[in-house]
Amino acid sequence: MFRHEVRVRYGDCDMQQVVFNAHYLAYSDDAVMCWFVARLGQRMPEFDCMLKSVNILWHRPLRLGDVAALDCAVTRWGTSSFDVLIRGHVAGEPSFDTTIVYVSTTPGAANAVPVPDWVRAALGGDEQLAPA
């Protein structure tokens, strides 16, 4: 499991004083990118993927000043696609779950290709997070 933390900023909040819904996806995308950089390192330019679908399940809103811990793990490997679960929580209390389906592509192009074995090895050894 990889953990990334985000502090909720004033500009992230809407008129209801909670994080605007689109920012949850931005937080999730940032967490996944940091995870990829940490695990794939200098080989990052050799791998690319594109979002195919996303689902966000809210448990409680994030508010100004909250520090959200986002835990990332692969929950499914396909031939050319894989599912990543990002579980967001504040002080152990669930806030949201984002499930993103990615498709492995040729770097710089939109051609679907099998997920390289070295990427599976780098991302797949994590403790699995069960979907909510």
SS (H, E, C) the chain: CEEEEEECCHHHECCCCCECHHHHHHHHHHHHHHHHHHHHHHHHHHCEEEEEEEEEEECCCCCCCCEEEEEEEEEEECCCEEEEEEEEEECCEEEEEEEEEEEEECCCCCCECCCCHHHHHHHHCCCCCCCC
**pLDDT, tens digit, 9 for 90 and up, residues 14-42:** 999 999 999 999 999 999 999 999 999 99
The yes-or-no verdict on residue 68 having pLDDT over 90 is yes
pTM score, two decimals?
A: 0.91
Domain ranges of the chain: 2-124
Residue 1 has what pLDDT? 87
Residue 132 pLDDT > 90: no
Specify the fold of 2-124. Thiol Ester Dehydrase; Chain A (3.10.129)
Residue 31 has which token pair? 């967490």
Q: Kindly tell me the burial class for residue 95, based on how many C-beta atoms sit within 10 Å of its own C-beta (0-12, 13-18, 19 or more).
A: buried
Q: Are 58 and 95 in contact (CB under 8 A)?
A: yes
Whether 126 shows a pLDDT value over 70: the answer reads no
- pLDDT at position 127 is 55
pLDDT (0 to 100) of residue 130: 52
Two tokens at 24?
A: 């949850």
